């Protein structure tokens, strides 16, 4: 018994020492926390090495911008000054934004945007073709008037009134007289577009493809056809009873904005937008509908520039 008591007493200080050591967890956690925090900063905030971007890469980026926005390659002078400008500001997002904005202010941007839209909606009919069609309608209207063809005159006036706004769409958009909603509405509400998409079914399918880059569902097709044929229907929770009403619905709202986002990603990044990217784009366009500002975010990205 005395021996046993002696062992118990001698172990007690050691046990107390272990317990005391376990009461200092803060020091242990602090060391681990500092290591993890340091490692996280290195991974997340490592700046891109833009110094490694070659002059050839910069020239390729500038050429892409000139072709996509102005429909032509950059001149040697434009390439030289563009490279110098980007280098001066270390290829910053602000510098790219300014460069892109300058290209968008050129009338060549409006011509390019018109040509791309006409390719989608009018089989590539340029402004001179639209003018010729308008002049022909006016001439036919004069003949019908001379021959007192009252019914024909009503039809002529209807088609003239729809085609005339398309003639000024490019200028009106450039000067801020119309929104992009109205711009696309004019491209889909005219005689030429009707000829490309004859019949209510083709008209609805064609407009969905041109505006949304997708086919309509069976329900959407049924509602769209009814509207185009002059019957009441509901589409995207909105009611309409005419072709004009149908076009007003499809050139406004979230479906229209999603269509713009899909078009931009397909055209400039050559891929589909992810769900997160679509959501971010919708938030930006819904808050302040400025398509040019949204487009800048894509064209200024490392992905588009080829700096990744």
pLDDT of 10-45, one tens digit each?
444 433 333 344 333 433 333 333 333 333 333 444
Residue 2 has pLDDT above 80, yes or no: no
Quick count: other Cβ atoms within 10 Å of Cβ 308? 8
- In angstroms, rounded to a whole number, what is the distance separating the alpha carbons of residues 81 and 307? 19
Torsion of CA 112, 66, 263, 201, to 10 degrees: 30
100 DSSP β-pair partners: none
Residue 77 has pLDDT above 90, yes or no: yes
Secondary element (H or E) of residue 78: helix 76-88
* pLDDT value of position 47: 53
DSSP annotation of 233 reads E
Q: Choose among 169, 195, 174: nearest CA to 251.
A: 169
Q: For tokens 């005419």, name the residue.
A: 242
- In angstroms, rounded to a whole number, what is the distance separating the alpha carbons of residues 18 and 27? 16
- Per DSSP, the residues of 9-43 read HHHHHHHHHHHHHHT-HHHHHHHHHHHHHHHHHHH
Q: Choose among 262, 268, 263, 277: nearest CA to 100.
A: 268
Distances (CA, A) of 98 to 52, 54, 93: 22, 21, 9
pTM confidence score = 0.83
Task: Work out the average pLDDT over 118-143.
Answer: 96
Mean of the per-residue pLDDT values of the chain: 88
Tokens of 130: 């639209």
pLDDT tens-place string over residues 85-112 = 999 999 999 999 999 999 999 999 999 9
Q: What percent of the chain has pLDDT over 70?
A: 85
pLDDT tens-place string over residues 208-260 = 999 999 999 999 999 999 999 999 999 999 999 999 999 999 999 999 999 99
Task: Work out the average pLDDT over 128-157.
Answer: 96
Residue 262 has pLDDT above 60, yes or no: yes
Report whether 256 contacts 250 (CB < 8 A).
yes
Report whether 252 contacts 280 (CB < 8 A).
no
* pLDDT value of position 51: 85
Report whether 93 contacts 303 (CB < 8 A).
no
Helix ranges (DSSP H) in 168-300: 169-174, 180-188, 191-196, 200-212, 218-228, 243-250, 253-264, 275-287, 291-299
pLDDT tens-place string over residues 204-215 = 999 999 999 999
* pLDDT value of position 285: 96
pLDDT tens-place string over residues 41-75 = 334 445 577 989 999 999 999 999 999 999 999 99
């Amino acid at each position: 018994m005395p021996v046993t008591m002696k062992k118990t007493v001698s172990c007690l200080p050691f046990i107390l020492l272990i317990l005391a050591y376990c009461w200092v967890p803060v020091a242990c956690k602090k060391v681990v926390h500092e290591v993890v925090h340091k490692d996280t900063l290195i991974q997340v905030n490592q700046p891109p090495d833009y110094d490694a971007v070659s002059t050839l890469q910069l020239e390729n980026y500038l050429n892409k911008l000139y072709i996509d926005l102005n429909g032509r390659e950059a001149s040697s002078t434009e390439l030289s000054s563009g490279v110098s400008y980007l280098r001066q500001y270390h290829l910053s997002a602000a510098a790219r934004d300014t460069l892109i904005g300058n290209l968008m202010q050129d009338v060549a941007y409006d011509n390019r945007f018109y040509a791309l839209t006409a390719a989608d909606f009018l089989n590539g009919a340029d402004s001179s073709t639209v003018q010729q069609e308008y002049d022909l309608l006016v001439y036919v209207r004069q003949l019908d008037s001379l021959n007192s063809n009252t019914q024909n005159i009503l039809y002529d006036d209807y088609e003239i009134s729809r085609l005339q706004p398309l003639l000024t769409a490019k200028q009106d958009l450039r000067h801020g007289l119309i929104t992009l909603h109205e711009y696309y509405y004019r491209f889909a509400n005219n005689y030429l577009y009707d000829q490309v998409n004859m019949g209510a079914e083709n008209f609805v399918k064609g407009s969905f493809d041109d505006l949304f880059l997708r086919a309509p569902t069976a329900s959407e097709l049924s509602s769209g056809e009814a509207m185009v044929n002059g019957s009441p229907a509901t589409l995207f929770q909105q009611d309409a009873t005419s072709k004009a009403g149908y076009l007003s619905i499809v050139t406004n709202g979230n479906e229209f904005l999603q269509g713009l986002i899909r078009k931009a990603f397909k055209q400039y990044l050559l891929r589909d937008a992810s769900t997160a990217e679509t959501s971010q784009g919708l938030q930006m366009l819904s808050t302040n509908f400025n398509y040019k500002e949204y487009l800048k975010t894509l064209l200024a990205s490392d992905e588009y520039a080829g700096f990744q």
